[in-house]
Amino acid sequence: MENLPNLLSQLKNLTYPKLEIILIDDESEDGSANYVRNTILDQLPIRLLQSKYPGKKSALEMGVAKAKNEIILCSDADCVFPDGWVEEMVLPFEDSAIQLVAGPVEVIEAGGKLLTKFQAIDWSSILLLTNYFFQVKRPLMCSGANLAYRKEAFDQVQGYAGNKEVSSGDDEFLLKKIRADFGSESCVYVSNQDSLVLTGPEESWESLINQRTRWAGKWRSHQSDSHALAAVGSFMVQLIWVSTFMLLIHGMLGLLVLAIVWGIKIGAERLVLGKVLESFNMHLAGFSYLCTSFIHPIYVLCVGVGALVGKFTWKGRGNLRSVKLEVEN
C-alpha cells in the first residue's frame, strides 16, 4: 500500500506515447486494490487485474495473456523509473531477432546506513556479472524488476511451465528458456542511466539474507552446469577469503601478508565496482567499500548455506507485486 502513491507518480511521468499499463493484484490484503480503483484508475488509463492463482509467476502469466500489445515490460510496485525508461527498453526490439531485453537495477542509495550502502555495492557486482555474461553471449541472470520480452516469445516457450513451483526465478528461468529456443543473440542487455530502475533497499540484514537466499535457492532447478559452477565457485572464493585469517597464527609476518592480500582485494573492488556505480552517477566513500569487503564473504556464505539447506522466511513481495507495461512498438 505504501508504494502506490509513488508508483502513481512514476507512471504519470513516463513519456512513451503508446502505453498499456496493467497492474496485477497478487493476493494483497491491505486495501491496495481499492486504492488503485478509487485513486489511480481515475487519473491514468490503467487496467487492474486480480490474479486467480497464488504466486508471482501466475500473476505474470495472467498479465501476458491479457496484454493487447507485442512487447511486455515488467517491473515492481516499489521501483523508480526514469521518464524515458520505456523508450530505452523497447528500442532494441526494432531488430526483429531480439526477443528479450534486460535492464539494470540498483538499490535506492539514501541515508548513511551501512546496510543500504552494502546493498548498493552488492547490486553493482550483480550488474557487472550480468553485463559480462550478456557480452560474451552466455547470459545467466537478469532482474524481473527491469525486463522486457516479446509476447510471442513468452508464449512459444510456454511461459513458466516446468518451474512454476519454484518460489523465485521468474526472470532467470524465462531468460534461459528464450535463450535456448531463440539463441543467445536474441537476448540483449541495455545498461545506461536512462534504462536504470531503482528499487528500495531491504531494511535489515536478516531480510536481506532471506531475500538473497530465496533468489539463490532456485539453483537446483536450473539443471545447468554453468549455474552450478557459478554458485559453487562464488561460495568457494568467499570461503578462501575467510580462511585467509588463519594467517594470523604466523604472527607479525602473517598479519603483514593478510594486510597486503586484503588491501589488494579492497582496492580492486573499489576500483571496479566504483566504476560501475559511477556509470550510473552513484558515488560512495571509500569507507563503504572497506566495510563491504569484510562483510561480503560472510554474507555470501550465509546465503549459500541457506540456499543449500533450502529454508528461508520471506514476506510478500509487495502489495501489487508486478507492474506490467505492455508496449506497442
Grid cell for residue 127: 550488474
Give me the pLDDT at residue 258, please: 97
Question: 184: exposed, middle or buried (C-beta count within 10 Å: 0-12, 13-18, 19+)?
Answer: middle
Compute the distance between CA of residue 20 and CA of residue 11 in angstroms, rounded to an integer.
Answer: 11
Give me the pLDDT at residue 223, please: 58
Residue 221 in this model has a pLDDT that exceeds 70: no
Non-local (6+) Cβ contacts of 176 within 8 A are: 222, 224
Compute the distance between CA of residue 225 and CA of residue 232 in angstroms, rounded to an integer.
Answer: 10
Single pTM value for the model: 0.87
Residue 200 in this model has a pLDDT that exceeds 70: yes
What are the structural domain ranges in the chain?
A: 4-204+315-327, 228-309
Give me the pLDDT at residue 329, please: 40
Give me the pLDDT at residue 181, please: 96
The alpha-carbon radius of gyration of the chain (Å, integer) is 21
Give me the pLDDT at residue 143, please: 94
Does the domain spanning 4-204+315-327 belong to CATH 3.90.420.10?
A: no
SS3 helix, strand, coil % of the chain, rounded to 5?
55, 10, 30
Convert the pLDDT of each residue in 98-148 to its tens digit: 999 999 999 987 667 899 999 999 999 999 999 999 999 999 899 999 999
Q: Which residue has the higher pLDDT, 317 or 308?
A: 308
% of the chain residues with pLDDT over 70 = 88
